[in-house]
Structure 1
Amino acid sequence: MTDRSGSLLELLEPLYHDHPAWLEERRAIARMIDDAASTRSSILRAIDAERARQPAWFGAPDMIGYSFYVDRFAGDLAGLRDRLPWLEQLGVRLLHPLPMTRSQAEDSDGGFAVADYRAIEPALGSLEDIRVLAADLHHRGMALAIDCVLNHSARDHAWAQAALAGDKEKRAYYRIVDSEGEVAAWEADLDDIFPDTAPGNFTHEPRLGGWVWTSFYPFQWDLNWSNPAVFREMLGVLLFWANIGVDIFRLDSAPYLWKRRGTASRNLPETHALVAALRAGLDAVAPGVALLAEAIERTADILPYIEPVTGTRAAQLAYHNGVMAALWVALATGDGRIVGDLVRDTALLWPDTAWLHYLRCHDDIIWSALNGQVKPDELDRISDFYAGAGGFADGRRFQARSGAAPSTVGMLASLVGTEGPAAVGRYRLLLATMLALPGMPMLYMGDEIGLPNRADTSGLKDARWLHRPWMDWDRADAAAVGNGPGADWLALTRRLIAVRSRFPALDAKALTAVQNDTVGLLVVERGTGGETVLLVANFGDAAQAFPRAGDWIDAIDDRPIGVTIAGGTVVWAVRDV
């Protein structure tokens, strides 16, 4: 064995040194690291070396992500490869198919109840299809992101089934408590994630003789990360997929890994240490592979996943759900300053980190991300607004934790007014603003053609399926030739992405300065010297004075900017030389 696992084991030692199996697990982890390193292909090692020269490669101006369900977008993995030209023409360089691993046989929470971490859902294809897809993407200068569901497995998983059958080793892979009293003691400090559809955090399993921890749904059993065998198993999953060709792992449910009595068991220091250890394990084998933390929390609680105060390398990317929610708040209130405040206050300093920015995704808009920045009654009003209370939006309310504003579900197009010039104008305001902020942008399937909410919502057990429609390829094909209701959306999306790719000032690591002194107006300067781009977004109704002297051109439309910026409009201003 080599010493390539040394830094990883140092990070794990404080977590596991008292565990009776730790010495054995140390040796097993070191062997696994060596085996994975020896089998990494020369092609993938070359990609690692190239990315070492550009550590924030995912933040390049032309790096645009696209998130989707494979079956709803293209049927299966073979169909997805057939649709790559569409994504290339859109300007996408990173594909994020939502969970593709084999999932629970019945309800699987959209694939997030994983029954086999190393197998593909049979209806989608095979492992070989993933190898071929990854190689094809790399040949095209594109990249692949996949989900790694860290917090829980499906009840259908072989580990859980072995535990149900009496296997003591696999029983220790899960958090199981013996009595209702112990359940109550834990619950006193825990939140309900799905209070309407899955209240509580424990599920009674008679065959286990106790209650298994189920933070999300009863069929999703929380893994016991205080057991070093679980760490070994899950790091092994990351290394397995990294050697197939995956470029980014989305660490699903990252905040929930470590549990401690008397706390909310979210965002604990031990959890941050685990993420850092996963990073160290990848660094030993596949250093060019990035980690994306899915921590839908207050911004202050997200920062330790990406730039921890310990200085330890952790995830390179994290969802900036605060900025996402703030953009929707700005649209509803007519004041963009909240976005500027967040951008200014969450500047990242390390050379290999970036925020992931987005407008919509497969999940709900969680307004509690802005607790402490927006008053609770205002968040309630905004939640009502996007649920259709007297405005242009056609979303729905979604369950919320106690004391929080209900979340919002709905496709982007439906939330901005569904169709017509006004809706497209709001889309332009949001998309152009998001694309100019410091970070890596991620689009959501169908937003580029203004795809509205699902028409058939009968029998939905989970309201989030409202914004998980099937891709409308008739609408898309018509839009591609300038016809139909999706044409303006597609033309705008392609234009913005193409223009963005030309400006080094819009790299995630380019300097950023926020001017936030005018009600309604968001002003963000990107880059330095002659390479600057000035984002000016007027979320209000009234025209505002352009905040700079001299002659400027809007790079989006390649036309001069006047002395004012009309209400509800946005420009990427560059100096007219």
Structure 2
Amino acid sequence: MFRRKFLTTALATAVALSISSLYGSAYAANLQPTQPKEDWARDSVIYQIYPRSFADSDGDGIGDLPGIVSRLSYLDKLGVDALWLSPFYKSPQADAGYDVADYRLVDPMFGSNEDFERLLKESHARGMKVIVDLVPNHTSDEHAWFQAALKAKPGSPERARYIFRDGRGENGELPPNNWPSVFGQSAWDRVPGEKQWYLHLFDSKQPDLNWENPVVRAEFEQVLRFWLDRGVDGFRIDVAHGLIKEPKMADLVIEEGRENAGALVGPMWDQEGVHEIYRSWRKILDEYPGQRIMVAEAWVSPRERLAQYIRSDEMDQAFNFDYLMTQWDATAFKNVIDSSIALTTTVKAPTTWVTSNHDVVRAPSRYGYSLKDQGKYALPGNGIGPNTPQPDEALGLRRARALAMLTLALPGSTYIYQGEELGLPEHTTMEDKYRQDPMFLRTKGEEIGRDGCRVPLPWKADAPSFGFGPSNKTWLPQPASYAGYAVDRQEKQSDSTLNLYRNLLKLRHEHRLGDGKLHWVEADKDVLAFDNGDIRVVINLGEQTAALPSGSQVLLSSEALPEAGKLPASTAVWLKR
């Protein structure tokens, strides 16, 4: 999408006044700068903010909403179309905010509801949409509903909001079935002194809701309206494939050596009943002015089932995890690009392109391994620790820069995870004593977890906490190497990764690549080339130098080209056709 402020002040005011009569002046103020109803999400560049690690305003070592507001000009200059905020709700933070205790209240560690409304208003004033995370599969165990359920009797309405079952065995001493938690160990915890157990597909402090209960459905419809009334532009739906469980809740058939196989497939995932829920939500979003979107975090198999989540009466987008997990190989990338476009075309939905997020090893570290080792050491969620063979940092960065040029030239919507525009690597040598991910804790370190990709960002190379906040505190330690990736240093370097991203996004918007079409061009082995509008993209995923088309006009390259007409290994270019 060509994100420019094409509304004049007078027109924006007129729009706001008309909305004010329907929804109130405060609501209109938040909506004033946004555009009338349009399909903005089809080709947008969406920037993921992990609030606790983006910018800290008060020096407590944890990022917050005022910190985000202070950096909105940076995001505007980067050229993104929308922001996606990971959870900022009231939470005991057992899983970094994905354990929600109050869906309508900003956690004091992040600020206040007023701080959020200011963030929303100032983002909209810059032409940026705002998407918030919704976590409907489970609540925190400190949520008022779950506390009431623990105090109530088996069979009570309070317990019916969650999934409680009697245990097996003579005295209920065994869990109701063998379902594993995604984070390791059993997915069931026993209520003290009872035969009943409650289901938690993630941490024990994240009890699963019972989505067969109309009370649960009604509550979340009101939560949607609460944030829509404040002007949010959409929701990223956490664990979108997990809300409905197979009614019989039979044991999972687990193959030997795949004890945690239920983390992705099984009777707890991708049940047909989830689609009824999302159709009802679609109707709610469509009641509001402008386009309000839903984005599915859905891990499904076979992958063709993903199309069901993005039919016209359900969600607008689904994360393309197949693309994210693709290894550094030309054939693999071509296949996943072709299959992704073909899949979304069947339901006339946009394709999304994702290379990093808060749950996976950062791309520069993931691609710093050989093809063999990449598939062994850099799997999503597994993390990289000090005892893991370390990636080649320089190689990984080179490949990540080339991959950015490939990704941002593809038609559809693209996601950028905070720090990706800096080429930020994983913190691969973090000591165990600092780790907080429940995946690490519940597996006793067998799974390194996701802390390494969540480390606070570096803004100033020579400042305490690298400018993350006014003190030297950070909730996770930053490696010394982050100084070299700091924003202030990169802004002064014309060939920095930050300036590469700024130039890529500028050209992407100017040439409307997100709204374009891909046409493959014949290329050498290990090289991909395609046209999108008047841009030709060439990326060399091999280890040998490749030839560029004769007479090529290079608009941008991921690395310096030492020899005219030649494309070095792990390098990409955009050419003017």
Q: TM-score range by the shorter chain?
A: 0.7 to 0.9
1:482 matched residue in structure 2: 492
* 1:269 CA drift (Å): 1.3
Identical amino acids, percent of aligned pairs? 26
Output one character per residue of 1:238-297: Cα deviation in whole Å (capped at 9) or x when no partner: 111111121120100010011113562211111122122211122124562100101133
One-letter code aligned to 1:291: M
Q: For residues 195 and 30 of structure 2, what CA distance do their matches in structure 1 show? A: 47
Output one character per residue of 1:520-556: Cα deviation in whole Å (capped at 9) or x when no partner: 2223332xxxx3323222211224455x7x7542332
One-letter code aligned to 1:96: W
Output one character per residue of 1:310-343: Cα deviation in whole Å (capped at 9) or x when no partner: xx511101100101111xx025x88643344434
* 1:458 CA drift (Å): 2.8
2:300 matched residue in structure 1: 297
What does residue range 399-414 of structure 1 map to in structure 2 within 5 Å?
Answer: 407-408=382-383
Q: Does 1:284 align with 2:287?
A: yes
Q: For residues 241 and 457 of structure 1, what CA distance do their matches in structure 2 show? A: 39
Would the aligned equivalents of 1:325 and 1:366 in 2 still touch at CA under 8 Å? no
What SS does structure 2 have at the residue aligned with 1:154? coil
What SS does structure 2 have at the residue aligned with 1:152? coil
What does residue range 134-533 of structure 1 map to in structure 2 within 5 Å?
Answer: 134-166=120-152, 168-180=156-168, 187=177, 190=179, 192-195=181-184, 199-206=185-192, 209-260=195-246, 261=248, 264-285=267-288, 288-298=291-301, 299-307=303-311, 312-326=312-326, 329-330=327-328, 336-348=333-345, 353-364=349-360, 382=371, 384-385=373-374, 407-408=382-383, 417-419=392-394, 422-454=395-427, 456-459=430-433, 460-462=435-437, 463-475=449-461, 476-482=486-492, 488-504=496-512, 506-507=513-514, 509-514=515-520, 519-526=525-532, 531-533=533-535
2:60 matched residue in structure 1: none
Would the aligned equivalents of 2:557 and 2:574 in 1 still touch at CA under 8 Å? no
Q: Does 1:118 align with 2:91?
A: no
* 1:83 CA drift (Å): 1.0
Q: CA RMSD in A?
A: 3.6
Q: For residues 189 and 162 of structure 2, what CA distance do their matches in structure 1 show? A: 12
Would the aligned equivalents of 2:405 and 2:504 in 1 still touch at CA under 8 Å? yes
Would the aligned equivalents of 1:145 and 1:248 in 2 still touch at CA under 8 Å? yes
Output one character per residue of 1:76-95: Cα deviation in whole Å (capped at 9) or x when no partner: 21121111112122222322
| Stretch of structure 1 that moved more, 63-72 or 461-470 | 63-72
Change (3 A) 1:119 1:409: farther
Q: For residues 522 and 357 of structure 1, what CA distance do their matches in structure 2 show? A: 17
Would the aligned equivalents of 1:416 and 1:423 in 2 still touch at CA under 8 Å? yes
TM-score normalised by length of structure 1? 0.74
1:59 matched residue in structure 2: 42
* 1:159 CA drift (Å): 0.5
What SS does structure 1 have at the residue aligned with 2:139? strand
Would the aligned equivalents of 1:366 and 1:408 in 2 still touch at CA under 8 Å? no
Output one character per residue of 1:114-147: Cα deviation in whole Å (capped at 9) or x when no partner: 0111111101111111111111111110111111
Q: For residues 54 and 373 of structure 2, what CA distance do their matches in structure 1 show? A: 30
* 1:177 CA drift (Å): 0.7
What does residue range 86-101 of structure 1 map to in structure 2 within 5 Å?
Answer: 86-101=74-89
Q: For residues 186 and 393 of structure 2, what CA distance do their matches in structure 1 show? A: 36
What SS does structure 2 have at the residue aligned with 1:555? strand
What SS does structure 2 have at the residue aligned with 1:354? coil
* 1:101 CA drift (Å): 0.5
Change (3 A) 1:240 1:415: farther
Change (3 A) 1:543 1:187: farther
Output one character per residue of 1:62-103: Cα deviation in whole Å (capped at 9) or x when no partner: x42222322321122112111111212222232222110011
Q: Does 1:108 align with 2:72?
A: no
What SS does structure 1 have at the residue aligned with 2:492? coil
Q: For residues 380 and 557 of structure 2, what CA distance do their matches in structure 1 show? A: 38
Would the aligned equivalents of 2:149 and 2:159 in 1 still touch at CA under 8 Å? yes
Change (3 A) 1:474 1:541: same
* 1:436 CA drift (Å): 1.3
Q: For residues 415 and 525 of structure 1, what CA distance do their matches in structure 2 show? A: 36
Would the aligned equivalents of 1:386 and 1:408 in 2 still touch at CA under 8 Å? no
Would the aligned equivalents of 1:178 and 1:210 in 2 still touch at CA under 8 Å? yes
Structure 2 unmatched runs, 5+: 1-21, 57-63, 251-265, 364-368, 438-448, 462-485
One-letter code aligned to 1:134: L
What SS does structure 1 have at the residue aligned with 2:127? coil
Output one character per residue of 1:387-413: Cα deviation in whole Å (capped at 9) or x when no partner: 66xxxxxx5x677xxxxxxx4558xxx
One-letter code aligned to 1:153: T
Q: For residues 38 and 139 of structure 1, what CA distance do their matches in structure 2 show? A: 19
One-letter code aligned to 2:432: S
Change (3 A) 1:287 1:214: farther
2:471 matched residue in structure 1: none
Q: For residues 173 and 565 of structure 2, what CA distance do their matches in structure 1 show? A: 64
Would the aligned equivalents of 1:151 and 1:223 in 2 still touch at CA under 8 Å? yes
Q: For residues 390 and 541 of structure 2, what CA distance do their matches in structure 1 show? A: 16
Change (3 A) 1:544 1:187: farther
Would the aligned equivalents of 1:120 and 1:126 in 2 still touch at CA under 8 Å? yes
Change (3 A) 1:340 1:281: closer
Change (3 A) 1:256 1:537: same
One-letter code aligned to 1:418: E
